Amino acid sequence: MTSGTTQVGPFELQPLGFGYADLEPVIDKATMKLHHGKHHQGYIDKLNAVLETNPDWSGLNIGELLTRLPEIPESIQKTVREQGGGHVNHQFFWKTLAPAGTSAPSKTLTEEIDKAFGSFEAFKEKFETAGVAHFGSGWVHLICWPEQDFKLEIITLPNQDSLYEKAPTARGLLICDLWEHAYYLKYQNRRAEWLSHWWDVVNWTEVSKRLSAARSGLAEV
Ligand code: MN
């Protein structure tokens, strides 16, 4: 997903491609600092700690670990699902963010969005509605299905469940964090407001690249 996709344990927090204050006013600096430096780092630390005690599983990258969850010893499976999922979901999230006005959707992405949802505005509305309707913590995703002619779909997953486990044949294009830690400092309990403002800091260039990689049969980068 990022350069971290091929990384094997012990996992390391990847630097953002921008500063903590660069997504203001949509995402405030304090939220970014805590979210990246503490929350994401926390998932990585806990994942590394269990892998250190289970060296048989320490040579796998994060996608392999989450795809092979059923084979992982029961004593560490829950931790790998939760902390590994937390790591990979955040890695994906950071990569699909960018300072406002620095990215644009490709022609192909725009066409596919129109085809699946009717219009860009209708897509955004459906994505926001799905995020608001999701009960509790989790993530809202835009994915495509290579086996269905790369058809786009919006799905939500609870907690830190990952696409690797829950939709392994799908390709993730865009993800938004529904955990309160992602928005509470600025938006408090107003998740709908968070989701409606968040569009301004979506990295459309990266989302377009992900769709084009999927359509070309290239691995995630
Ligand atoms: Mn988060």
CA distance 60 to 67: 11
Ligand 1 geometric centre to CA of 184 (Å): 11
Chain length of the chain: 221
What pLDDT, in 10s, does the model give residues 179-198? 999 999 999 999 999 999 99
Specify which residues 145 forms β-bridges with.
151
* Angle, helix 85-95 to helix 41-52, in steps of 10 degrees: 140
User: What is the pLDDT, as a whole number, of residue 2?
Assistant: 38
In the numeric block, the tokens 């994906």 are attached to 92
Task: Kindly give the parts of the chain with pLDDT less than 70.
Answer: 1-4, 221
* Nearest to 178, CA basis, from 141, 131, 210, 211: 131
CA distance 108 to 192: 28
Query: What pTM value is reported for the model?
Result: 0.95
User: What is the pLDDT, as a whole number, of residue 221?
Assistant: 63
34's CB contacts (< 8 A; 6+ apart) are 181, 185
Ligand 1 geometric centre to CA of 186 (Å): 14
CA distance 140 to 201: 16
What pLDDT, in 10s, does the model give residues 151-168? 999 999 999 999 999 999
User: What is the pLDDT, as a whole number, of residue 6?
Assistant: 78
Ligand 1 geometric centre to CA of 124 (Å): 21
Which chain residues have CB less than 5 Å from ligand 1, an ion?
177, 179, 182
CA distance 98 to 106: 16
CA distance 89 to 43: 10
> End-to-end CA distance of the chain, in Å?
5
What pLDDT, in 10s, does the model give residues 67-84? 999 999 999 999 999 999
Ligand 1 geometric centre to CA of 140 (Å): 12
